[in-house]
Amino acid sequence: MDEPALQAVRARLADARKVCVLTGAGMSAESGIPTFRDALTGLWSRFDPMQLASEEGFRADPRLVWDWYAERRLGVRAAQPNAGHMALATFAARHPTRLTLVTQNVDDLHQRAGIVETIRLHGDILQDCWLNACPRGRHCEPGAAAPAQPPRCSECGNLVRPGVVWFGEMLPPAALDAAQHAARESEVMLVIGTSGAVWPAAGLAQLARRAGAYVVIVNPEPSEIDAQAHAVLRGSAATLVPALLDGL
């Protein structure tokens, strides 16, 4: 651990009136939730990611995709927030107006740690939604669908799908707008556990820096956006995030 760099970032965090935090898959991996690529193991290793995480793949084989997400959901429900999640939640509770949390993760670990108001860029793996707009113009809840794998409407046949953003889909506009606003308004931006390879989320660090924020990247390995950072701290989220926030 680079102690002088750590203390320099702590000083910035202590003085900041607005802190934006972006978390990626590395944050949840330490709780035992595999990254998207790492989840393609065992039985699933023979499938193309586009087959399991795209509308086209789902339409081609709904049951296959549904079963993969069912397995991932079991892993999310079994996982627990780690020390990094808890440190962020404690800081947010101590300073209710200072921290805005943006996540690329589709699990609910930040929420279970205590940060209910989380901006979720890529959706929620534990929620369902309809695949198509209802042809009858009704607003039925997906939970009313007839049980199957996947469930489908007993009247029109509309399929239920996981409430996540798939390849080729746009991010939820409200979530992206809120994340970009938080990045622009921040005085310090922490980017934790992301490779910086997925856009437009990866562009938030550059957006924050251009607006005058002090950008810090926390990641065990080099990321594609390290050049946007004023400080890069090498290490795990579960170790470094508490070290950065404890006592602030």
d(CA 60, CA 199): 26
Cα torsion angle, 68, 73, 74, 76, sign: positive
Of 122, 139, 181, 230, the active-site residue reads: 122
- Give the relative orientation of helices 237-245 and 3-15 as an angle to the nearest 10 degrees: 50
For 122-144, b/e burial (b = at least 16 CB within 10 A) is bbbbbebebbeeeeeeeeeebee
225 vs 169, 191, 209, 221, CA distance in Å? 23, 10, 12, 11
Our answer to whether residue 122 is catalytic in this structure is yes
Extract the tokens encoding 204: 């938030």
Q: At CA 246, angle to CA 242 and CA 248, rounded to 5? A: 135
Whether omega for the bond prior to residue 200 falls within 30 degrees of 0, making it cis, is yes
Please report the beta strands in the chain, taking only residues with DSSP state E, as ranges in sequence order.
19-23, 99-103, 118-120, 123-130, 160-164, 188-192, 214-218, 231-233
Residues with active-site annotation: 122
